[in-house]
Structure 1
Amino acid sequence: MFIGRLRQFWEIFSKNKAAVVGGAIILFYILIALFAPLLAAHDPFEIQLDKKLQQPSFEHWMGTDDKGRDILARILYGSRLSMGIGFAAVSFGAFFGIIMGLAAGYYGGWVDTIISRILDVMLAFPGILLALAIISALGPSLVNVMIAVGIFSVPLFARVVRGSTLETKKLEYIDAIRSLGANDGTIIFKHILPNILSPIIIQGTLRLATAILSAAGLSFLGLGAQPPSPEWGTMLSSGRDFLFSAPYIALFPGLAISVLVLGFNLFGDGLRDALDPRLKS
């Protein structure tokens, strides 16, 4: 049965060529993150002032920055940081969002009212402003960026899960399971949650693009990863002083962010088409 569903998913997903390209982009970034030490010909932290601001060449394919560090090596190692921040932040937001959404959708009443009002307050603030406020309170650091981006992801997951739970709990098989004496925990985590994973996966994939972009933006402002970290947003910030004399310092990290975000968006759209039963023909 699982093989049949997987085959059906692939048939629908593979028809979307843009989604396949997005998946290939994500896989490519994952591979370079895993094998960065093997792919990087130079130490991303090694300072060589005699080689600073060198243009792209056979020795340094993407040139060197103002401290003589190889930009390609820093982008390769930076893929670990940028993708790690994205996955950690989305996992944080998904965990708490799922718990809140399940509780609000299943129990309803005053539980739903309280959780919904909390989510409304969080959604009243633009995500990046909420993240800025959180980091201002916690202090600039890589971990705090993950927490901040994760917190403003919570209401998005909670809303999706709440709506799906409201629909699923009305189905006849849930009433049958309840009549057999199953407790709330069993119903919620064994029967409702597995049946609403599709919208959660779709939301998580699309949210990864936003999380990576937001984390890079915060690092660009000096609130995230701190130098000499090879995080892409930090590299962009360092390169803005050389936009006219050495534009490649900012160009290549910017391209790395743009292509990865594009990949997650394309892949997420394909997942939505393949997993959302309302879009299936």
Structure 2
Amino acid sequence: MKIVKNLSKDKLAVISFIIIVITIIVGLFAPFFAPYDPNEVNMGLRYASPSWEYPLGNDHLGRCILSRIVYGIRPSVLWVLVALFISVLIGAVLGFLAGYFKGKVDAFLMRICDIMLSFPGYVMTLAIIGILGVGLENILIGFILVKWAWFTRVIRTSVMQYSELDYVKFSKLTGMSDLNIIYKHLIPVTFSDIAVISSSSIGSMILQISGFSFLGLGIQAPNAEWGMMLNEAREVMFTRPELMAAPGLAIVLIVSAFHFLSDALQVALDPKLVTSKSKLEEKLETSKIKFQEKEAANR
């Protein structure tokens, strides 16, 4: 409840949260929100300008751009969230094992993570796509195979920090099972860290999947995806810039919303950041008043 209260004070976080929720709902129920079939070809409306019937106009095949934007939420956002959830789940399980039990388990898992993290994530994902072939499902598999190691290492660090607390040690001495200790004592305190790193990763994953689709490696035609829509509109970007504006603004809007929410979530979950932010705002306000007084005195 305290987290919700802190988040509610940040207007930008509230707006970002609303944008994210609306985007997810529209994506889940795309057939109800899309005015037309996103794959319906109508050459008579080729490059038609925006109108009341087609608010965002039509593309090179006369397809409704608004409908394609709506359906593009699914591969661009929803499936990325699924890949993120799987990556975080794998990382959490392995991170708790490594951070709590330590010893040989920790050493073995960290060596595997070192190997996975020794390659740049984008290059590693490209290599996986090259092996498995192009397509949305292969990009998502690449995300999971690349991201789990990073989540494992970060979560493991958090677990090791909290596992040394006195009440955790006392629980071990009383004979409480390791599973109960992890469930009752470690998961609640590490949840905030997991939430922050998850929310901070989703934006980059959305940009990456849009980038792969723009290069023709992601979801294939005629299915709608924001990055692919940018690729289809690049040939007329100077004569019909609105065709690139719609998917481009959609990507910028949702990525910015996730980043703003991630920043606000980090501040809301960390009391030190709340205090430092308040002190910084006070200092800025004081400096502003002194500057205005100085300017008034000079006049």
When normalised by structure 1's length, the TM-score is: 0.92
Q: Give the Å deviation of 1:254.
A: 1.0
Whether the aligned pair in 2 keeps the contact of 1:47 and 1:67 (CA below 8 Å) is yes
Q: Which residue in 1 is equivalent to 2:143?
A: 149
Q: Which residue in 2 is equivalent to 1:181?
A: 175
Q: Which residue in 2 is equivalent to 1:57?
A: 51
Cα deviations across residues 206-248 of structure 1 (Å, max 9, x unaligned)? 1111111111111111111111111111111111122123222
1:118 corresponds to which of 112, 118, 121 = 112
Aligned residues: 275
Q: Let me know the Cα RMSD of the aligned residues.
A: 1.6
Code of the residue aligned with 1:109 in structure 2: it is G
Whether the aligned pair in 1 keeps the contact of 2:46 and 2:59 (CA below 8 Å) is yes
Q: Which residue in 1 is equivalent to 2:130?
A: 136
Q: Which residue in 1 is equivalent to 2:280?
A: none
Other structure's SS at 1:225 match: coil
> Does 1:194 find its partner at 2:188?
yes
Whether the aligned pair in 2 keeps the contact of 1:85 and 1:215 (CA below 8 Å) is no
Code of the residue aligned with 2:247 in structure 1: it is P
Give the distance between the partners of 1:186 and 1:11, measured in 2 at CA: 30
Matches within 5 A, 1:1-281: 6=1, 8-281=2-275
Q: In terms of mean alpha carbon deviation, does 22-31 or 186-195 score higher?
A: 186-195
State which structure, 1 or 2, has the greater radius of gyration over its C-alpha atoms. 2
Q: Which residue in 2 is equivalent to 1:3?
A: none
Give the distance between the partners of 2:254 and 2:25, measured in 1 at CA: 13
Q: In terms of mean alpha carbon deviation, does 251-260 or 37-46 score higher?
A: 37-46
Code of the residue aligned with 2:234 in structure 1: it is R
Q: Give the Å deviation of 1:14.
A: 2.2
Give the distance between the partners of 1:223 and 1:272, measured in 2 at CA: 34
Code of the residue aligned with 1:229 in structure 2: it is N
Q: Give the Å deviation of 1:133.
A: 0.8
Give the distance between the partners of 1:202 and 1:20, measured in 2 at CA: 16
Give the distance between the partners of 2:272 and 2:110, measured in 1 at CA: 26
Whether the aligned pair in 2 keeps the contact of 1:91 and 1:150 (CA below 8 Å) is no
Whether the aligned pair in 1 keeps the contact of 2:171 and 2:181 (CA below 8 Å) is yes
Cα deviations across residues 3-56 of structure 1 (Å, max 9, x unaligned)? xxx0x2233212222212211221221232234222222111101111111122
When normalised by structure 2's length, the TM-score is: 0.87
User: Which is bigger in relative contact order (C-alpha 8 A, separation at least 6)?
Assistant: 1
Give the distance between the partners of 2:69 and 2:178, measured in 1 at CA: 48
Other structure's SS at 1:153 match: helix
Give the distance between the partners of 1:91 and 1:31, measured in 2 at CA: 18
Code of the residue aligned with 2:205 in structure 1: it is A
Gaps of 5+ in 2: 276-299
Q: In terms of mean alpha carbon deviation, does 261-270 or 113-122 score higher?
A: 113-122
Give the distance between the partners of 1:248 and 1:157, measured in 2 at CA: 38
